[in-house]
A = this chain, B = another copy of it.
């Protein structure tokens, strides 16, 4: 459970706490009652209600008039349109993801840094039955996913250090939970130019990811391909990387970033 303390160990401030309430909504949990939100967050009901009412004023949440439960509000769609007008991420990434899923026959997804995790902002699944499903809007932990490793290995040094300084939670049996094991994975990622996550986030899922770079030449996100672990082989992996590397370079350019000269994919 979320301990509702910020990264610096200090108690969260009100605004941060209120926005964190939104993290309890997922594609499976689309509505939550007040009591449940209070229980999940460990904040008293009166305070949660006040925060919800404040967020409702800006349309971030709304109450289902039928059952009085809370859900994400339409104001989020409005802001997403504005963000997209300012930086047309989805429009740039969708055709790239579609091609990548087509070429690899696997699930292609893109993410950008958002607060302390990567926000998954686009997924295209391949047209085959046995495929990896990625929850829309999933937050990808930096230490436990191929996307997170690809991002962190090429992030600004201070961001990288921040991730290394965190308490690392075990998500599966192979998630790196010590600073040393994570540092080793990041070094290997930096060396090869891409990241591998062998079931570190979800059993039976194998991920390959290449960083997306911002205009400053540091990573701002990642482009990834996720495959059932049972399908992984050296030729398949080579094929995925052959499609992934140019797709990531194209996505970086499309987002207004630049791939630094030293970045090279070596399998």
Query: Which chain A residues have a beta carbon within 8 Å of chain B's beta carbons?
Result: 6-7, 12-16, 18-20, 22-23, 25-27, 30-31, 50-51, 54-60, 62, 65-66, 71-87, 89-90, 112-116, 119-121, 136-139, 156, 214-216, 218, 221
B50 close to A13 (CB less than 8 A): yes
A119 to B: closest C-beta gap in Å:
4
Copies of this protein chain in the complex: 2
Report B-chain residues with C-beta under 8 Å of the C-beta of A74: 83, 89, 112-114, 119, 121, 221
Question: Whole-angstrom distance between the alpha carbons of A207 and B169 in the complex?
Answer: 54
| 8 Å CB contact of A84 from B79, B89, B136, B215 | B136
| 8 Å CB contact of A85 from B18, B23, B27, B113 | B27
Report B-chain residues with C-beta under 8 Å of the C-beta of A14: 14-15, 54
B16 close to A86 (CB less than 8 A): no
Report B-chain residues with C-beta under 8 Å of the C-beta of A81: 120-121, 136-137
A78 close to B114 (CB less than 8 A): yes
| CB-based nearest B residue for A25 | B82
Count chain B CB atoms within 10 A of each CB in A79, A113, A120 and give the residue with the most: A79
Count chain B CB atoms within 10 A of each CB in A26, A30, A74, A136 and give the residue with the most: A74
Count chain B CB atoms within 10 A of each CB in A77, A119, A221 and give the residue with the most: A77
26 A-B interface contacts by CB (under 8 A): A15-B18, A15-B51, A15-B55, A16-B54, A16-B55, A19-B57, A19-B60, A20-B58, A22-B58, A22-B79, A25-B82, A59-B113, A62-B113, A65-B218, A66-B216, A74-B89, A74-B112, A74-B119, A74-B121, A75-B114, A75-B119, A76-B76, A76-B83, A78-B138, A81-B121, A85-B137
